[in-house]
Amino acid sequence: MRPADDIERLNNKAAVNTNPKMDEAVLNAVLAAHEKATGEVSAATRPSARSIIMISPIAKAIAAAAVVLIAVLGLSEFLGSGSKSGVAWAEVLAKTEQTPSVMFDMTAEIDQSQDKKLVMPSKNYVADDYGTRSDMFLDGKLSLIRYRLPAKKEAWQIRVDQKKYWRFDLSDEEAARGRDRDDPRTWLKMILSGDYTTLGRDTINGIVAEGIECKRPEMVGEDGIMRLWVDVQTDLPVRIEVEMLGMEGGQMKQQKFVMENFRWDFEFEPSLFEPNIPGDYTQGEDPRAGRSAQGSAGVKQTPPRTSPEQAR
């Protein structure tokens, strides 16, 4: 066996800062194994592990060296102390970009007066090869269904509460512009594209997550703020928050949008992205028809959205 000073030098070279709890756990495991193998050490006569650690520099060095081995061999999880240290922010966008589909909930809150808010929850579906679909609810009832289908160069708005629908043609430019602004990955790019402030850890819908927040005046105005919460274990987003002033009813009003309950890479049937218009629904007039007749056919209008896009 090496002399005590050799073990101490090994410990110093590894630059490992141990703590008494870890030292005690490691040393207890070593002593227990030794006692079982030899039967020569009794629990009644053996000093406590804490006293050994405090008294013997050799024991301290052995415990420290054991911690080095645990770290190198990846055994900390076996001892019950292993966990990811934090979110790898560089991996968040890369992981979601490789995910072809996502389903999530979004809640839009728009101030109507000092003590009244319009709250519209929605269920949202995104698939790279198809487009987007949003089912929006008001007072607990399905009110509006929106589709944006770039591959078909069309968009739909179905007012369930009015039994009416609208179909809009997308120009080549609109169809090719990329992901919709209701796609959470669009907002991820905005949030991670510049400086941000860390928010530490919190539990979001039962998931331990780390958060950041940022201001992007070019996206959400001078008073707007965006927050992102990411699962520390998977590096996948669990919540995106956007707070901003937006135009509503001819007035600037405070708006908040929360995207959460993500299901990344979910399985779906293609029919999910096929508008199904009941026979008793009537088609609404395209508001662009008059402009088209005047020679502005190249100007396209996307269906109204209750989403962060209203700020634009």
Do 132 and 52 lie in a common domain?
no
Do 226 and 119 lie in a common domain?
yes
Q: Is residue 249 part of a domain?
A: yes
In this predicted structure, what is the pLDDT of residue 220? 87
Do 18 and 103 lie in a common domain?
no
Which CATH number belongs to the domain containing residue 278 in this structure?
Answer: 2.50.20.10
Do 164 and 273 lie in a common domain?
yes
In this predicted structure, what is the pLDDT of residue 29? 52
Phi and psi at 77, nearest 5°, equal -65, -35
Instruction: Using CA atoms of 4, 5, 8, 14 in order, give the dihedral in degrees to the nearest 10.
Output: -120
Do 94 and 134 lie in a common domain?
yes
pLDDT tens-digit readout, 31-78: 454 454 444 434 443 444 444 334 455 444 444 444 443 343 343 333
Do 240 and 203 lie in a common domain?
yes
In this predicted structure, what is the pLDDT of residue 191? 93
Alpha helix ranges (H) inside 57-199: 57-73, 89-97, 172-175, 184-192
Domain membership of residue 53 as a residue range:
4-73
Q: Is residue 9 part of a domain?
A: yes
In this predicted structure, what is the pLDDT of residue 130? 93
What is the chain's pLDDT, residue by residue, as a tens digit (312 residues)? 444 454 444 444 444 444 555 445 544 554 454 454 444 434 443 444 444 334 455 444 444 444 443 343 343 333 333 455 689 988 999 999 999 999 999 999 998 877 788 999 999 999 999 999 999 999 999 999 999 999 999 999 999 999 999 999 999 988 887 677 779 999 999 999 889 999 999 999 999 999 999 998 888 888 899 999 999 999 999 999 999 987 766 777 889 999 999 999 999 999 999 999 999 999 998 766 555 445 444 433 333 343 444 333
Amino acid at 115: D
Do 10 and 56 lie in a common domain?
yes
Q: How many domains does the chain have?
A: 2
- Token readout for 232 is 């520390």
* Chain length of the chain: 312
Do 182 and 98 lie in a common domain?
yes
Which residues are CB-neighbours of 222 under 8 A, at least 6 positions away? none
- In angstroms, the CA 261 to CA 264 distance is 10
Do 186 and 114 lie in a common domain?
yes
Q: Is residue 84 part of a domain?
A: no
In this predicted structure, what is the pLDDT of residue 86? 83
Which residues are CB-neighbours of 2 under 8 A, at least 6 positions away? 10
**Of 45, 73, 101, which residue sits at a domain end?**
73
- In angstroms, the CA 296 to CA 290 distance is 9
